[in-house]
Amino acid sequence: MNAFGIPLLSLCFVAGACAAGPDQATAPAAGDTTSDCGRISVFDVAPRSQDLYRAKLLNIDGELAGPTGAKSFRVKPGKRVLQVAELIDSEQFNDVQLRQRDMRSDPYKDLVVDVQPGTTYLLAARLVPARRNYITDGSYWEPVIYQQNSEPCH
């Protein structure tokens, strides 16, 4: 379930963006209650009141995460390295900060997630208020998993 009480898989289908990512696991047979995969979701339901904003998942274990616009990525269980870009709302920055943000040489960060079977992980970019003025070194944000949901991965 997400923050709105809607099952994440339902959101995935409503958004029309369920996509298989690298290391995709095979779907369980009909009636099989075990799950041999997990999901990383970038569906934007992150609570802004907690300084959480949209994130873009670029790579999973060094491979492209999936098609542009995908919101959910199926992965095998185990440690996964996610390469993430922040999509923090531009109104959070002044004009100088926006220019600095656009000029950063390495706008991506890695996040290691130990994916458990049958679990969906919600990914976001956290704005770090105490580091808000540190745009050029990138310390103004961090990639985070802000919620985990148990649900079958088919």
Q: H or E segment at 15? A: helix 8-15
What was the pLDDT predicted at 78?
Answer: 96
- Residues of the chain whose pLDDT is less than 50? 1-33
What was the pLDDT predicted at 7?
Answer: 45
What was the pLDDT predicted at 34?
Answer: 53
What backbone torsions phi and psi does residue 90 show, to the nearest 5 degrees? -65, -25
Q: What is the DSSP letter of 2?
A: -
What was the pLDDT predicted at 154?
Answer: 72
Whole-angstrom Cα distance, residue 92 to residue 27?
41
Q: What is the pTM of this model?
A: 0.75
